[in-house]
Structure 1
Amino acid sequence: MSFHVVIPARAASTRLPDKPLLDIGGVPMVVRTANQARLSNAEKIVIATDDVRIVQAAQAHGHEAVLTRTDHATGTDRLAEVVQLLGLPDDALLVNVQGDEPLIEPELINTVAHLLQGAPDAAMATCAAPIHDADTLFNPNAVKVVCDLQGRALYFSRAPLPWARDALAGGKQVLASGLPALHHIGLYAYRAHFLRRFTQLQMGVLEHYESLEQLRALENGHTIVVAKVAALPHGGVDTQADLARVRELVSQKMM
């Protein structure tokens, strides 16, 4: 199986300015993410960014990087530009690994790439893990996905899904016993030809309200297959608290 990993990395961040360049154990965050991706079965790792400083940091640590436009609305749009810049064939497989995932598990990258390769009718592949507590189910920052019996995504939402009518009667916020609730993990695999098409797809009403770009694929009739994994990986870095947690974990591994 042959696939590429593309790591979109924007310098602009409201909560953590210059986030991809933040130091984690002596290495910029985006470089540490790329180092983890290098441990997967990917043929090529490419960091895609709109900031020359990130290009320079990547190259200084032996990683390939490309400078992309500054006006991309989503990371998927940035990946589509990378497909054009690298001249990839339509059947090339790409895995989108966010630049703020310095602890990403290489095997998880392999999993989504393998899943898409084995699903020729699908436009995308992603993954999800079981939800074990009500707090996660009702947390709008934890995206939920519901699937059909073949593991194809039916819907993604920030709302608590599936809705266990009887267990949640009267305004209760509990996790019903046996509820097949899944926490979506924001890791995606695509074929190059779909990425080229994605930029032309119309944003639907659901994507607009949920602010979830994967809904654009579903609303336009494309299939997303979902790998169900046993547990969530280490979370990415969105806040100062996340940064402190990841720095501590890396420090422990280095000792």
Structure 2
Amino acid sequence: MTLENIKVVIPARYSSTRLPGKPLLQIKQKPIFWHVVQRCLEAGFKISDIHVATDDIRIVNEATHLNIPIIMTSTEHESGSDRINEVAEKEGWSEETVVLNVQGDEPLIPVTLIKELSAFTLSNPEFLITTAVKQVNSYNDYINPNIVKAILGEKGRALYFTRSPAPLCRDNHNNLSLAYKHVGIYAYTVASLRRFCSYPEAPLEKYEKLEQLRALSHGMSVGAFIFDGNIEHGVDTISDYERIKSLIENENYDTSN
């Protein structure tokens, strides 16, 4: 399989709790989701294989104006995975089709990250869901409940995701060599996505507020590769937007790694 066997879906929900309408915020006279699309094009995907999925006609109109494939989805979805599942159903993609879920609020997502997740997914079909992690480098990040930690077993198998400081080295609590933070990008086949969305919310998922725990709770295998590059935080607040807008407008960034 190659990149041509992968579809990219970029969820772009209008009603963000902290920053309503953020997909339409402008950077260099283009909306945030346009910049995410550019990163996917730079990763080697064709525009025909990239779809923005939204719940708002204003985003539909803007994407149409920019000649970006756009699909209107329900306003009732609880998660981006549910929205992507609706796209797969509407487009009639086969069960074997791999779908890459790229967040619509990360205009500086590294191109290398997209490429490496695609390659990892295609070369590890034993995993029903794939994602990425990054080394935790500071104790403050390790104990921060807003930074999700991933616990990995052999050959990239994800054993658990948690907001707690984990795993803990018994002999040296400052040893973070096996501590990884989760990077919010996913890939799955249409069959795996449909299976995931068929399950109700799992108790651990509700407890930690982590959607990926639904998959693990129901026995779905999750694989993760370790990404070595830099990752800019996405746009969650107005201060995030102003910082990333400044980086892009001053060309003070490198999306290639």
TM-score by length of 2: 0.92
Matches within 5 A, 1:198-217: 198-217=196-215
Q: 2:163 aligns with which of 127, 141, 158?
A: 158
Q: 1:94 aligns with which of 94, 99, 111?
A: 99
Q: 1:184 aligns with which of 163, 182, 185?
A: 182
- Name the residue aligned to 1:228: 226
Moved over 2 A (4+): 164-168
- Name the residue aligned to 2:40: 37
Partner SS state of residue 250, structure 2 = helix
Query: Considering only aligned residues, what root-mean-square deviation do their CA atoms show, in Å?
Result: 1.5
Whole-Å separation in 2 of the counterparts to 1:35 and 1:120: 27
- Name the residue aligned to 2:12: 9
Number of matched pairs: 248
Q: How big is the shift at 1:41?
A: 2.5
Unaligned runs of 5+ in 2: 253-257
Q: How big is the shift at 1:22?
A: 0.7
Instruction: Indicate whether 1:63 and 2:68 are aligned.
Output: yes
Whole-Å separation in 1 of the counterparts to 2:175 and 2:206: 32
Matches within 5 A, 1:103-182: 103-168=108-173, 176-182=174-180
For residues 164-201 of structure 1, the C-alpha deviation after alignment (integer angstroms, 9 at most, x for no partner) is 33444xxxxxxx23531101100001101111122211
- Letter of the structure 2 residue corresponding to residue 233 of structure 1: I
Q: How big is the shift at 1:62?
A: 1.7
Whole-Å separation in 2 of the counterparts to 1:232 and 1:89: 34
TM-score by length of 1: 0.93
Whole-Å separation in 2 of the counterparts to 1:55 and 1:248: 26
- Letter of the structure 2 residue corresponding to residue 5 of structure 1: V
Whole-Å separation in 2 of the counterparts to 1:246 and 1:178: 29
Q: How big is the shift at 1:107?
A: 2.1
Unaligned runs of 5+ in 1: 169-175
- Name the residue aligned to 1:19: 22
Whole-Å separation in 2 of the counterparts to 1:206 and 1:177: 27
- Name the residue aligned to 2:247: 249
- Letter of the structure 2 residue corresponding to residue 210 of structure 1: E
CA separation of 1:133 and 1:50: change in aligned 2, threshold 3 A? same
Is contact 2:136-2:176 (8 Å) kept?
no
Identity of aligned residues (%): 38
Q: How big is the shift at 1:103?
A: 0.7
